[in-house]
Structure 1
């Protein structure tokens, strides 16, 4: 492992670049610490008792590469403890190899996003652990899909270390979106590029609630593509392959890990959840499009897979254009919740319009459900929305918005039974981040509970938590104020107190 910096590196930057992804609300915060008794406007029900964990990319040092994307920053974990109507806040960085070596060197050492050939030094594990944080078997796992998780203490947020499940992890990579069986606590996972950068290998595995690996299946993908999210039903696993493709020779030449491929179809891999062989995988094909996050999946009465996810005709990751440099304007992007119905027994693997239904035509993302109904038929889905007609004051907040990430100005609740979408608009100078669902204590009714979301207040340049009751979705029960701003995060989860 290299210990010295090459002489050819540019001079160490003393400030972050004058780029949208490092400006305004997106200027890195780089804060660790605690705040007790956050201010609360309204009332938090006493029954809510648990912790909301979330993670954001938050670089501790200015990058040495040009135009670094916003989600190449260090993973910084926030924990909001809610108890007795009060909220406390704690935040700490994940002590990855990258983080600790850069702190020792007092400068950035990591190069381009997921391109080890552009690094200043050689890393054994170069992940930033900045995409999701889940609670499993007594530990927090900080996740990014290029490496194994990092384990953290759920109370202190101190990093325990790289987590390979006592050496059981067969893959070099681990999904940022593991799924959990609500009945057994089983964690269903996979890794893509599982044998290293540019490899077509997918490794699927199931992990019992006590951390024991139950099954491993090695698969080969038809294209080396990003598989950011996936879905699980009672009997099937569904892998949506995003047409952002990897080429190892491009990486060696200093190029990007990912490049949009308009010629590549949208592949959907379908595999039996239990007892599968590598030959059991089927890759269905649909015309080129961009699959975003999944909502849920289940099997209908005919045994077909019902698979719901966000779908866009254009490349939502516009910062990774196609080979000719073509990328859509960010304001032209529109992702909508879409349902695929797939017969897993079919021999014709071509999917067309007959297999697809738009569930909601709003521009939406970051879909969440009542996790007690994951893998099952469900009725309620919650998400971020962009509805400009609601009255956001774009001229006023434009100078401090920052950029490089999608904007959503409201939260949506779609009732799949009635087709009705309720909307919560937090204010003219606000944007929302991903929500989480909190079940109402003692209730087993799907969707009966609360929604909690971090909200950006651009007028005060601070962050807020907005708490909604799902029975009265259009107004906030409580707004919890932070004395600082938390830049755009990726994912998080609610964990009930034991």
Structure 2
């Protein structure tokens, strides 16, 4: 039986709640279709040949929960196919169980974010498939970290169904940030709350290029906390835990899945990448903090681990406060890009003080994927620099709410410490960038940044393409005839890497 929710929207309402997360630029898009030959200002470099995939939480129907967080929307995938300096756009929802049942009912049936006890009906797979989309073994994987991924056709965006790798998926959950080993083609994965809601279990596993699951290891985390992203080096795997914790009794009572815990340390779990057991896991810790998305991790000459990530001293997901209802003012939340260097073999589990690499508020870091799991010398990220000339009056009047604001892209050169900046315009905010390397044996970081940009003056979306050799201006701006609300993650796939799926090896 579903729990009665005082905050439930009227079942007769066909209007989205008058809340910031459903208003202005964050008003749900709900578009499916395609538009070929988008308008382009400037010239898209003819060398670029591939597809940019991104996904946004985009509710198809008004939610049951009046103050539903924007993270709870249906996964709507956008593609930007670029070839011969032309750009073609396509968008389609992932046909999850939730999406199909709600479309048939013509009303929302999902309850609170990651709380099945508040649903109107029972779902076998409770997923929105709205957090990341990546290409692997001839298919797209639409990922939401509380469930298995959904598999889609990379061209048509047709949903094939749940991707369990032919029944091999060992965990009930699957990370939104699997890591592709460029040398082997392995997809390195994990799931947390891997045995179900409120469980401390973490399952690490690897999927071969042929789709064979191997290297499965089960761990128990010190608390039931959020592990959104993780890091992989040649010999180690790292699990940074955000101090947002889950309690199953709170869920059964109709509460929130996540609650900020200011007393929980910032943990980084570490296991050997190969041959690990539950006993080999170590949980290093630092003072309470919110770790952001991983830049990259690698090993130094002494066998130590180096890992870079944005870090802030307060709860970024302020809509999930602590037990006393305390949450930070979102205007005070700023993450600095930091570097931790530590010995994974040490018996001392206190992490050293991190080195600050970038002091400006930043997030959504990316690297040249060719150096993933190896030493990197360039990093690309979103940042907020109020001195650049943003017209905050226009932006704040039209922004809606819930998602972070970044007015520029940064490129950190580790060899010099310099940060190059791309500023898209006074009424613009950027989403997560992707990097496209120049064809051939180009040096690390030599290529283009591609980023979806919100234009709050026109209330429309633009795709900006910036040459990393010259960030003073965009080489091309692609104009969409529609507005795409804030997304979470996406990836670039070169046309040369789009191949038919490999068959799983027979056992």
TM over 0.5: yes
Q: Deviations over 1:21-42 (max 9, x none)?
A: 1000000010000000000000
What does residue 250 of structure 2 align with? 250
What is the CA-CA distance between 1:387 and the residue it aligns to? 0.9
Structure 2 CA distance, aligned partners of 1:271 and 1:33?
44
8 Å CA contact 1:9–1:120 kept in 2: the answer is no
**Alignment partner for residue 435 of structure 1, among 409, 412, 433?**
433
Q: How far apart, CA to CA, are the structure 1 residues paired with 2:182 and 2:475?
A: 28
Contact map agreement 2:341 2:352 (CA 8 A) in 1:
no
Aligned twin of 1:78: 78
Q: Does 1:385 align with 2:402?
A: no
1:400 Cα deviation after fit: 1.1
Matched, 1:22 2:22: yes
Alignment partner of 1:180 is 2:180: yes
Per-residue deviation, 1:10: 4.2
1:445 corresponding residue in structure 2: 443
Give how far 1:417 is off.
1.1
Secondary structure at the counterpart of residue 379 of structure 2: strand
- Post-superposition Cα deviations, 1:111-140, rounded to whole Å, max 9, x if no partner, equal 100000111111001100000000000000
**C-alpha contact 1:102 1:109 (8 A) present in aligned 2:** yes
Cα drift, residue 445 of structure 1:
1.2
In the alignment, is the contact (CA less than 8 A) between 1:12 and 1:64 conserved in 2? Answer: no
* Residues 327-476 of structure 1: pairs in structure 2 closer than 5 A: 327-353=327-353, 356-476=354-474
| 1:163 aligned onto 2:163 | yes
Hey, what's the Cα distance between the residues in 2 that align with 1:450 and 1:191? 32
CA distance in 2 between counterparts of 1:248 and 1:207 reads 30
Q: Which runs of 4+ in 1 moved over 4 A?
A: none
SS at match of 1:372: helix
* Counterpart-to-counterpart distance in 1, 2:442 and 2:410: 22
1:5 is aligned to none
What is the alpha-carbon distance in structure 2 between the residues aligned to residue 181 and residue 64 of structure 1?
Answer: 41
Q: Deviations over 1:174-217 (max 9, x none)?
A: 00000011111111000000000000000000111111112100
TM-score between both structures, scaled by the size of structure 2? 0.96
Gaps of 5+ in 2: 3-7, 497-507
Aligned to 1:239: 239
Query: SS in structure 2 opposite 1:474?
Result: coil
> Secondary structure at the residue paired with 2:95?
coil
Aligned match of 1:478: 476
Match of 1:290 in 2: 290
* Contact kept in structure 1, 2:75 and 2:94, CA below 8 Å: yes
Query: Is 2:342–2:352's contact at 8 Å kept on the other side of the alignment?
Result: no
Structure 1 residue 395: deviation in Å? 1.1
* TM-score, with structure 1 as normaliser: 0.97
Structure 1: which 5+ residue stretches go unaligned? 3-7
Give distance in 2, aligned partners of 1:29 and 1:372.
Answer: 34
CA shift for structure 1 position 66:
2.6
> Structure 2 CA distance, aligned partners of 1:43 and 1:333?
37
Conserved? CA contact 2:173–2:193, under 8 Å: yes
* Number of residue pairs the alignment of both structures matches: 491
Report whether the alignment pairs 1:487 with 2:481: no
- SS of the counterpart of 2:382? strand
In angstroms, what is the RMSD of aligned CA positions? 1.1
Q: Give the SS at the match of 2:393.
A: helix
1:279-308: CA deviation from partner (whole Å, max 9, x where unpaired): 110000100000010000000010000011
* Partners of 1:81 and 1:321 in 2: CA distance: 40
Q: Give the distance between the partners of 2:380 and 2:361, measured in 1 at CA.
A: 13
SS in 1 for 2:473: strand
CA distance in 2 between counterparts of 1:379 and 1:427 reads 28
1:350 Cα deviation after fit: 1.2
The CA deviation at 1:9 is: 8.4
Aligned to 2:494: 496
Deviation (angstroms), 1:262? 0.1
- Equivalents in 2 of 1:214, 1:99: separation in Å? 32
Describe how 1:185-200 pairs up with structure 2 within 5 A. Answer: 185-200=185-200
Is 1:135 paired with 2:165? no
The structure-2 alpha-carbon separation of the partners of 1:143 and 1:413, relative to structure 1 and needing over 3 Å to count, comes to: same
